């Protein structure tokens, strides 16, 4: 089965990071995702407003307004995301790890579901 999603960039980014979180949870072997819902939201806002995943001052403000976060709360989330390697520092700038940036023209996932014995 193949499902193609056509939507606004923000919705596509949200769906992309939700899938990443599901895959991370499945590969971690527990019900708790290594990527939280708030982290999915933060990554979605960054990627939908900056295709290179750069965390600019303007994007930080957009995250704070969209998710109703204080600067301190956003900094705490970004710190945890850095320890998970979701956010990296490159040439003095914070950005989404390039492994987690949706590809231009679309991304595809091949998922096989197996029932546990």
Residue among 15, 6, 16, 9 at smallest CA distance from 101: 16
Which residues, other chains included, contact 5 with Cβ-Cβ below 8 Å and sequence gap of 6+? 12, 15
Say how far apart CA 1 and CA 83 lie, in whole Å: 36
Regarding pTM above 0.95, the answer is no
Give the model's pLDDT for residue 40.
Answer: 92
How is residue 71 written in tokens?
Answer: 């600067």
DSSP 8-state secondary structure symbol assigned to residue 106 = -
- Give me the domains of the chain, ranges plus CATH numbers: 9-100 (1.10.10)
Give the model's pLDDT for residue 112.
Answer: 63
How is residue 75 written in tokens?
Answer: 């900094």
Say how far apart CA 59 and CA 95 lie, in whole Å: 11
| Average confidence score pLDDT of the chain | 81
Contact yes or no for 70/64 (Cβ under 8 A): yes
Contact yes or no for 35/52 (Cβ under 8 A): no
Q: In terms of pLDDT, which residue wins out, 63 or 3?
A: 63
């Amino acid at each position: 089965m193949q499902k193609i999603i056509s939507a606004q960039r923000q919705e596509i980014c949200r769906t992309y990071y939700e899938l990443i979180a599901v895959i991370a949870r499945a590969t971690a072997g527990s019900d708790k995702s290594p990527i939280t819902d708030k982290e999915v939201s933060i990554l979605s806002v960054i990627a939908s407003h900056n295709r290179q995943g750069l965390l600019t001052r303007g994007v930080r403000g957009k995250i704070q307004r969209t998710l109703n976060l204080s600067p301190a709360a956003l900094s705490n989330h970004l710190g945890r995301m850095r320890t998970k390697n979701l956010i990296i520092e490159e040439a003095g700038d914070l950005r989404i790890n390039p492994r987690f940036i949706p590809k231009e023209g679309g991304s595809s996932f091949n998922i096989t579901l197996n029932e546990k014995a």
